Chain A
């Protein structure tokens, strides 16, 4: 190799490295707040933030808001990266148990939450459950994406049912008749995230069962109440459902709904929303209802969305101020309204808001708030609970029973798993 060609290689390499470094120099000036959000199923919801809320705030204060959207399901990994590296976002959407996992990295936003409570009709109890950690608000509850019953009115009518059954046993009777008419039910029993927890936790609770006591220490899954819930789930699966629900993930029941394969499922409002857009004939015969009640009451899952400010952000004060502005009734109400009622407010002040009149069939999602709880309730949310949820302990307990294992065996397996999880730390 000649002298010049070696030098040329080095020059090219150095030039390449220099070019790669250029964007660092081109960093934008001025205050910028980055808010991380999972991509919304309702596109206009994200667009409203980007095209209306963010520009309005910039106009009022000069602070630029970057709305960074992550794909559905990638939020935990993205949040973990931001927290571990201490950079990347100032505010983030948080889901379910995140405020408890990330509590040490979240700014106390009690002032915002308390003012919101005072001005906007007061919080539902589940709001405190979702955003308050050790007496301090670490995240501002934004909404529940409720999981309720979706049913085909035309097929239910064929078996003489015009009002959604009030109890699980009544629903079972209807399901048995409908499966015989080739209109089975489809409730997810696989490893999705929303649609399995959405009905199995409420079912367990409505029979009086729970994983761990309120003290957060005593494992209490091994009970006659849990056994009753499992026995019900087994016959509900066998006599009312498709076999395939055992493998379902969150998209499966929607697919089956639009294929007119199932007559009842448990899902978010999105099932009707999409039907109205793409399958108007199915939308006409789709209705929604509260979860049925069991011997110990009626329950719903709090599929919560909250917002938190990272305390390591160099602009945490500015981020706090933005969140306060965003959570003001003027902005918040408009943001909710942009998505009809897909995001159900946790503040009582919105109970009679016009958003609920857009589609009256969505009103049960509002009414579910009073009986909603986070997964794992009544145990306080913490890392062990998060581990039990991530390991699908409750879901697989029910799924194994539906696949043929005995009630005693599945409870024993769940009990030993929970004891192992709760033994540590």
Chain B
């Protein structure tokens, strides 16, 4: 901290000081605001503006290349009358809920396994992140080949177990197609859960386990009454992020099935894109995309309140 060396001079008798930009910028509050301004402006420009513009668009009958007219909630009413829209909403919820649960359970298992001591532990932990690191488009193309009836390693294995050729049509059957995209999303999202929960696990004091063991707690009881309560805040935060990512997923479906067969894998993000970009109906597309908002907002507010209450 700089120390003022000049003697105090009364305001009335002090000669008028000239304004110094460097000193002004050096003041604590000004400096902190100057540092805060870029990220705030960045957020306003790249998150706030598109978000508000999206809401504005959804209230307009707005076709690309034409001026829009305000129509209130007409786009949302039109969505409500569209049976495909409801199918897409259902798909998005099924996809998000099942994939998130699988990632949560699998991620916890993964974290518990990775928390043990074994050879090449660090290398295995690093390798675990691979699905998360590989670009989604690239890994999805790999899955496209793996699920292809002609080249499928999956069907090849099933054939070895006696399933007749050509085997299940993983992406052609509506139920199997949804199952497939959920599995791929789980594969991709598992490391995020696993590594984050592993970090949480490592903060649990060993003494608590020792105390529980002395009290006669079994392995399950140690997990149930020590590990789980201490991990809960991290599980909730990871779940929050995971739900947001999964709910708004686009790339996987766009590359793998483009929403087919017969919209069985169409999600809100892909459907909104087709309407907004494919058909040039920017207003209607924005209204489809914005239907994600209430569900996500409720979840975010709910989890945040719960966490605040806990702490």
Binding site for B on A (CB under 8 A): 2-3, 6-7, 9-10, 13, 76-77, 80, 83-84, 101-105, 189-192, 242-249, 252, 255-256, 259, 261, 383, 386-387, 389-392, 396, 399-400, 403, 413, 416-417, 420, 424-425
Contact = CB atoms under 8 A, between A and B. Distances in A.
Nearest to A387: B279
Given A245-B172, A246-B169, A391-B279, A101 B63 contact: yes
B288 to A, nearest CB: 11
Contacts of A396: 262-263
B286 to A, nearest CB: 13
* Among all A-B residue pairs, the 8 with the closest Cβ atoms: A247-B171, A191-B260, A390-B278, A390-B279, A190-B260, A191-B258, A246-B172, A246-B261
A212 to B, nearest CB: 15
Contact of A256 (B150, B170, B279): B150
B150 A390 contact: no
Contact of B148 (A255, A389, A417): A255
A6 B277 contact: no
Nearest to A416: B83
B166 interface: yes
A243 B169 contact: yes
A393 to B, nearest CB: 9
A383 B260 contact: no
Interface string B141-152: 000000011110
B65 A83 contact: yes
Contacts of B260: 190-191, 246-249, 392, 399
Given A244-B149, A255-B150, A191 B278 contact: no
Give the bracket for the number of chain B residues in contact with chain A: 35 or more
Q: Looking at B35, B64, B83, B282, which has the most chain A CB atoms within 10 Å of its CB?
A: B64
B169 A6 contact: no
B22 interface: yes
A245 B171 CA distance: 9
Interface of B: 2, 22, 25-26, 31, 34-35, 38, 61, 63-66, 74, 78, 81-84, 148-151, 166, 169-174, 177, 257-263, 266, 274-275, 277-282, 284
Contacts of A190: 171-172, 257-258, 260-261
Given A6-B31, A101-B65, A386 B279 contact: yes
A364 B252 CA distance: 37
Contact of B84 (A83, A192, A243, A417): A417
Label chain B's interface by main secondary structure: loop
B177 A247 contact: yes
Nearest to B64: A80
Contacts of A413: 83
A256 B282 CA distance: 36
A10 B38 CA distance: 12
A243 B176 CA distance: 13
Contacts of B148: 244, 252, 255
Contact of B277 (A76, A189, A248, A403): A76
B63 A77 contact: no
Contacts, number: 140
Contacts of A387: 275, 279, 281, 284
A84 B171 contact: no
Label chain A's interface by main secondary structure: helix
Given A9-B35, A243-B172, A244-B166, 4 more contacts: A242-B169, A261-B150, A391-B279, A425-B61
Nearest to B165: A182
Nearest to A261: B150
Given A189-B261, A190-B257, A246-B261, A105 B279 contact: no
B262 A399 contact: yes
A62 to B, nearest CB: 31
A10 B169 contact: no
Contact of B83 (A9, A248, A252, A417): A417
Contact of B274 (A2, A252, A391): A391
Given A390-B274, A417-B84, A247 B281 contact: no
A337 to B, nearest CB: 32
A191 B279 CA distance: 15
27 contacts: A3-B26, A6-B26, A83-B65, A101-B64, A101-B279, A101-B280, A105-B65, A190-B260, A190-B261, A191-B260, A243-B169, A244-B166, A249-B260, A386-B280, A386-B281, A387-B279, A387-B284, A389-B278, A390-B275, A390-B278, A392-B260, A396-B262, A400-B262, A403-B262, A413-B83, A417-B82, A424-B61
A389 B150 CA distance: 30
A136 B237 CA distance: 58
Given A104-B65, A244-B171, A420-B81, A191 B259 contact: yes
A259 B150 contact: yes
Contact of A424 (B22, B78, B166): B78
Nearest to B261: A246
A386 B66 CA distance: 15
A249 B257 contact: yes
Contacts of A391: 84, 274-275, 279
A2 B279 CA distance: 58
Contacts of A105: 65
Contacts of B173: 243, 246
B92 to A, nearest CB: 16
Nearest to A260: B150
Nearest to B82: A420
